[in-house]
Structure 1
Amino acid sequence: MSSAPALADDCRFDDRAGLLAMSPEAFDNGPDEGWDALAERAGCQLEIAELFTAYRQQAKAAGHAGLAWHEATMRADAGQRDPAIALMRLTYKPHGADPEGWNHYVDATIAFLDDDLPALKRARARLAKLPMPLGNAREQGDDERPAGRPQLKIVDALIRCMYQPYALASESCPEP
């Protein structure tokens, strides 16, 4: 995703009211329905982040931490590190309720945004130490799907592209 500024008309939403009226599930995950249908608009990250802000202010959005995460990544893509970090912190899961390692992934992403490579590497190590989740592709004998934690691949890209813009590091950091 490009972070180059777009023209104002390019970032207008055809049906903002309709988007805000969607259920949280449709808004967050609906293929070609919710915000993801807009994310391909280059340079519109701040407009999309503002849409998330408006959506999250509605009562129906309570308890949907993924909305804060997506807003945070849009703000990080646009270079708004401090607001992105504040939003990312809202997505932590309670201690003991995170067998998948989400909190370590959040820690790693915040460390990247803070330009703290040692903290990023520590978070990666904690994430890598977790047992593989049930239903892992290799445990099921399916060698076609990648095994492991998808967050680990992203964290490795953040390490490779440390001190680069978040949009590059999280989306298209070149392999070594």
Structure 2
Amino acid sequence: MPISTSLLLAAPLFAQLATAPDCSALLQQHLKTDLELPWQTFDQTEGQGFRVLAAAGCSREAGDLLEAWLAARQREQRSVHWHLAQQRAEQDDRPAAIQAARKALNTEETADMPLRWNDYVLATIAFLERDRSAFDRHRAAVAAARERYAGNALNLKLLDRLGRHFELSYLGAQKAAPQP
């Protein structure tokens, strides 16, 4: 193969390497600035907090930043634990993802609440544990309440993707093409 052809074939790889973020440096930068951010900014605002690292494809470091924020705050925050679970699941660290997801459960949820949060979380845990029966049961509870609350319909889309690609990793199932 001529050198010019080899260079053309390697060009996309070099471009990808040149644009790939330095996740470690990005984490260090955000550890200096983000641990004092209020919950709303750190956890819920696009382009802020852990979301910067997650958007850059640095899910391991995004999880590390979430853990550091929780440790600095010494508090339980369900949504932060949930986002930590998602980041660890994307890295296929199932034990850490499951542990964080369990901390995201709403201990005060009742059957009459419109958002089926616990069923969503428990279905995701069942996916990570490869427990199809539990996954189907919790997914069905979310599906049954999809008309009661918009969040259920959104969560059901992800659960359906996980269900269709049950054999894949969490990240693989998330990235799999949705059915028409």
Category of TM-score, reference length = shorter chain: 0.7 to 0.9
SS in 2 for 1:20: coil
Q: Which residue of 1 aligns with 2:17?
A: none
SS in 1 for 2:176: coil
1:173 corresponds to 2:170: no
Return the alpha-carbon distance in structure 2 between the equivalents of residues 79 and 63 of structure 1: 23
1:164 corresponds to 2:171: no
Query: CA contact under 8 A between 2:30 and 2:65: conserved in structure 1?
Result: no
Return the alpha-carbon distance in structure 2 between the equivalents of residues 72 and 27 of structure 1: 16
Q: Which residue of 2 aligns with 1:123?
A: 138
> Normalization by structure 1: what TM-score?
0.79
Q: Which residue of 2 aligns with 1:72?
A: 85
1:83 corresponds to 2:96: yes
Q: Which residue of 1 aligns with 2:25?
A: 12
Runs of 4+ in 1 over 6 A off after TM superposition: none
For structure 1, the 5+ residue unaligned runs are 1-6, 137-146
Worse-superposed segment, 27-36 or 152-161? 27-36
Query: CA contact under 8 A between 2:145 and 2:152: conserved in structure 1?
Result: no
Return the alpha-carbon distance in structure 1 between the equivalents of residues 114 and 165 of structure 2: 27
Pick from 60, 69, 75: which aligns with 1:46? 60
User: What is the deviation of 1:37?
Assistant: 1.6
Q: Which residue of 2 aligns with 1:154?
A: 158
Aligned CA RMSD, in angstroms, stands at 2.4
User: What is the deviation of 1:90?
Assistant: 0.7
Query: CA contact under 8 A between 1:105 and 1:124: conserved in structure 2?
Result: yes
Percent identity between matched residues is 29
SS in 1 for 2:34: helix
Return the alpha-carbon distance in structure 2 between the equivalents of residues 175 and 8 of structure 1: 28
Aligned length: 157
Return the alpha-carbon distance in structure 1 between the equivalents of residues 144 and 30 of structure 2: 45
SS in 2 for 1:31: coil
1:101 corresponds to 2:116: yes
For structure 2, the 5+ residue unaligned runs are 1-19
> Normalization by structure 2: what TM-score?
0.78
Pick from 34, 40, 52: which aligns with 1:37? 52
Return the alpha-carbon distance in structure 1 between the equivalents of residues 169 and 118 of structure 2: 22
Q: Which has the larger radius of gyration?
A: 2
User: What is the deviation of 1:8?
Assistant: 8.8
Return the alpha-carbon distance in structure 2 between the equivalents of residues 89 and 168 of structure 1: 22
User: What is the deviation of 1:55?
Assistant: 0.4
Q: Which residue of 1 aligns with 2:129?
A: 114
Matching residue's letter, 2:178: E
The verdict on how the C-alpha distance between 1:116 and 1:99 changes in structure 2, with shifts beyond 3 A counting, is: same
